[in-house]
Amino acid sequence: MNITYGNYPPPIGTIDSTTLENLLVHLNSTLPGPKGLIANMTNGLIICTQLNTTKTEWPDGNGAEIRYNATLQGNFTMLFAKLLNQMMFGGSSQSEQFVYAALDSVFSSVEKASLTLDYYHELKLATVEMKVSCNVAELWEKALEKIPPTVPPDYAAQITAYLKILNATAYAIKDFGLDTRYSGDTHKLTLNASMLINCTQLEEEITPLMPEIVSNE
């Protein structure tokens, strides 16, 4: 990250070498730890266990390059489950279990993933972006195991039947991806899911299971 020294509009103000050094000291003292800012923002679900920053002045003295390395540990699945549950279902404990089981099924079948955390100190804002690519067969197998126990008994049979269809058609789904973004400014969690499907194979595998779905509706 490169910082150019100068005078900026509020709330940033003047940034020079001393200001930047003080800011880095402040970040290193407030972000990490079980009582740090990251833990406070996530209600203790995520903790910054390590933060290292280095400042290298530009040769012309007009700015500096900042390099940082942070280690975050915690229950990311529960964090996203709580945010999503609050937005979709108003935060009830019953629906939280369902959302957690669904996300846990996704995250436990991940083949590759990336997580980006941006924090804007002066604005006290944070954004989190996570992208995952999953093993589809493993995803639906996990979902069939984890989700039905979290739904009300009246819906358990129907949900199980739908999940059996998804599990049976896993090989017709060639790729599944989940892109999530949370903004501390709007307190909004955005999720985008994508699938690549072989429609012919999907139809062949779904047809034999349709009677089970109809009988549970």
Give pLDDT tens digits for 44-57. 999 999 999 999 99
Range name among 54-58, 108-112, 170-174 with the lowest pLDDT average: 170-174
What pLDDT does residue 170 have?
61
Q: Is the pLDDT reported for residue 193 higher than 70?
A: no
Angle of the 153-168 helix axis to the 136-146 helix axis, nearest 10:
160
Region 123-134: mean pLDDT is 65
What percent of the chain has pLDDT above 90?
Answer: 26
Alpha carbon distances (Å) from 15 to 1, 28, 70: 15, 18, 23
Taken in order 63, 51, 83, 124, the sign of the CA dihedral is: negative
Please state, in angstroms and rounded to a whole number, the distance separating the CA atoms of residues 192 and 177: 8
Region 39-67: mean pLDDT is 93
Contact in structure between 175 and 136 (CB atoms under 8 Å)? yes
Q: Is the pLDDT reported for residue 99 higher than 70?
A: yes
Encoding tokens for residue 59?
């040769």
This prediction has a pTM of: 0.62
Greater model confidence, 191 or 147: 147
